[in-house]
Amino acid sequence: MNFSFYKTLLTVVSLSLSWMAQAQYKLSDDKATAATVKLYENLAKAQKKGYFIGHQDDLAYGVYWKYQEGRSDVKDIVKDYPAVYGWELGDLELGKPANLDGVPFDKMKQYIREGYERGGIITISWHANNPITGKNAWDASNTSIKNILPGGEHHSVFVGYLDKIAAFLSDLKGNNGEEIPVIWRPFHEHTGGWFWWGAKSASDEEYKELFRFSADYLRIQKGLHNLIMSYNTSTEFSTPEEFLARYPGDQYADMLSFDAYQRGNADQGEKFARQLDVLLTAMNKAADQHSKIPAIGEIGYNQIPDHRWFSHILLPILDKHTFSYVLFWRNAGFKPGNNEVEYYLPFKGHPSEKDFIKFYQNKKTLFEKEASKLKLYK
Ligand code: BMA
């Protein structure tokens, strides 16, 4: 018996299997920077360990504070930062110094660099103003996306918007001058009817064209190669086919995601959990079929009225599935404009504090300390 022959054969087989598992996840941009490629491969791998926890605007403000160096509502409770930092560019395209939620873009750049240098993951969304009416992202009236695509009357306005976005994204640099990789999540919740790029104003084909045109513009015309493209629906689907109805194609998407919020009373929790289960099952099938990485683009239950929500509603479903990350929406706090209070993660002293610590201690929830150990950019 020649054992060494079998040993060599076994090594060759297992090496090629692990190579195939990684090669399966290939970025849609074949000119992507080395760090972007690494991040994407490492995001795919890390799914075996668990899922990263993210928070929108985490470093900029919390429910009771604004712009305090090093502070985070998450860190106040669990002594660790989130692993994923969500940021938002809405109003940048108008040349304003701060975004639609008041976050100054120069500060945002600084926070992005900080999070990245600590080993965290950056994702950026864009509540783009309506280039046709000049009103905001929620103006879904009287819009035809054809007007902003090549040949359309408002095409140049839209291209002007993209120029501003490109300037920002290309100016995100790490300490060594390298471009910071970004999970770019534009034109999100497009299966819903509330945004001008949504299902009410744009046909499936028009949406695909919008997505492709803007991706090509950023990558080819603007030479940006630090983007991981995210295709992000709302909750209007229960099968992989429905989820993919507006999918721009494998050459344009790297991550698949959806946004889902629990609303109403705490007794709606089980119903939300069942819905989340259906959504994750359908999206993950689509992700498998296309060899893309799945994630939850946005989630939350405003003010968390159920003080066991994280451990009893969310965890059992999240733990059942394999996906890359989940991003909780922003801790805006009291909003003087409309007298609303908005936050999706607890702050120190909130009745859900203990429950969130349990969520933190769960093996599969990955925060920044674990992300940093994984060296996602190497
Ligand atoms: C919404 C709310 C708004 C905010 C918008 C964009 O869901 O949080 O207050 O302006 O996201 O960040």
Q: Are 65 and 343 contacting, i.e. CB atoms less than 8 angstroms apart?
A: no
> pLDDT at position 319, please?
98
Can you say whether the dihedral through the CA atoms of 256, 262, 268, 269 is positive or negative?
positive
Arithmetic mean of pLDDT, 258-280: 98
Q: Would you say 190 and 198 are in contact if contact means Cβ atoms under 8 Å apart? A: yes
Query: What is the average pLDDT across 323-338?
Result: 96
Arithmetic mean of pLDDT, 350-359:
98
User: Residue 12: inside a domain, yes or no?
Assistant: no
Ligand 1 atom with least separation from CA of 100: 10
Average pLDDT over residues 262-278: 97
- The answer to whether 333 and 343 are in contact (CB under 8 A) is yes
Other C-beta atoms closer than 10 Å to the C-beta of 31 total 11
Residue 70 CA to ligand 1 centre (angstroms): 23
Please tell me the predicted confidence (pLDDT) of residue 18.
52
Give mean pLDDT, residues 231-244: 98
Question: For position 251, which CATH number holds?
Answer: 3.20.20.80
For 68-114, write each residue's pLDDT tens digit: 999 999 999 999 999 999 999 999 999 999 999 999 999 999 999 99
Q: Whose CA is nearest to atom 10 of ligand 1?
A: 101
Pocket test residue of 108, 125, 342 for ligand 1, highest count of atoms within 8 A of CB = 342
Give residue 23's pLDDT: 55
In a domain, 30, yes or no: no
Helix, strand or coil, per DSSP, at residue 28: coil
How far is it, in rounded angstroms, from Cα 198 to Cα 24?
31
User: How far is residue 354's CA from residue 310's CA, in Å, rounded to a whole number?
Assistant: 10
User: Do the domain assignments include residue 26?
Assistant: no
Residue closest via CA to ligand 1's atom 3 equals 101
**pLDDT tens sequence across 48-72:** 999 999 999 999 999 999 999 999 9
Cα(291) to ligand 1 centroid in Å equals 31
Residues 228-257, mean pLDDT to the nearest whole number: 98
The pLDDT tens digits of the residues spanning 137-158 come to 999 986 688 999 999 999 999 9
Kindly tell me if the per-residue pLDDT of 117 is higher than 70. yes
- In the structure, which protein residues have their CB atom closer than 6 angstroms to any atom of ligand 1? 88, 100-101, 127, 329-330, 332, 342
Per the confidence metrics, is the pTM higher than 0.85?
A: yes
CA–centroid distance, residue 102 to ligand 1 (Å): 11
Name the band, by pLDDT with cuts 50, 70 and 90, for residue 136. Answer: very high
Determine the distance separating the centroid of ligand 1 and the alpha carbon of 36, expressed in angstroms: 28
Report the atom number in ligand 1 closest to the C-alpha of 56.
12
Domain membership of residue 352 (yes or no) is: yes
Sequential DSSP letters for 78-119:
HSS--SEEEEE-TTGGGT-SB-TTS-BHHHHHHHHHHHHHTT
What confidence score (pLDDT) does residue 8 get? Answer: 65
Q: Tokens 């692993």 — which residue?
A: 83
* Torsion (CA) 212, 329, 88, 197 in degrees, nearest 10: 40
For the chain, the average pLDDT equals 95
Residue 277 lies in a domain: yes
Q: What is the pLDDT of residues 176-224, one digit of tens each?
A: 999 999 999 999 999 999 999 999 999 999 999 999 999 999 999 999 9
For the chain, the domain total comes to: 1
Taking CA atoms only, the protein residue closest to ligand 1 atom 8 is 330
20 pLDDT band (50/70/90 cuts)?
low
Pocket test for ligand 1, best of 85, 100, 108 (most atoms within 8 A of CB): 100
- Model pLDDT, residue 147: 94
> What is residue 16's predicted lDDT score, i.e. its pLDDT?
56
The predicted structure's pLDDT at residue 337: 87
> For residue 20, is it within any domain?
no
Q: pLDDT at residue 123 above 70?
A: yes
Per the domain annotation, does 105 fall within a domain?
Answer: yes
Domain of residue 135 covers 36-374
pLDDT score, position 10: 63
User: Quick one: tokens of 214?
Assistant: 């803007």
Is 281 within 8 Å of 321 (Cβ atoms)? Answer: yes
Q: At residue 3, does pLDDT exceed 90?
A: no
Kindly give the number of the ligand 1 atom that is closest to the alpha carbon of 330.
8
3-state SS assignment for residue 364 = coil
Residue pair 108/165 in contact (Cβ under 8 Å)? The answer is no
What atom in ligand 1 is closest to the CA of residue 342?
A: 8
Counting every residue written for the chain, the total comes to 378
Cα–ligand 1 centroid distance for 225 (angstroms): 28
pLDDT above 70: residue 17: no
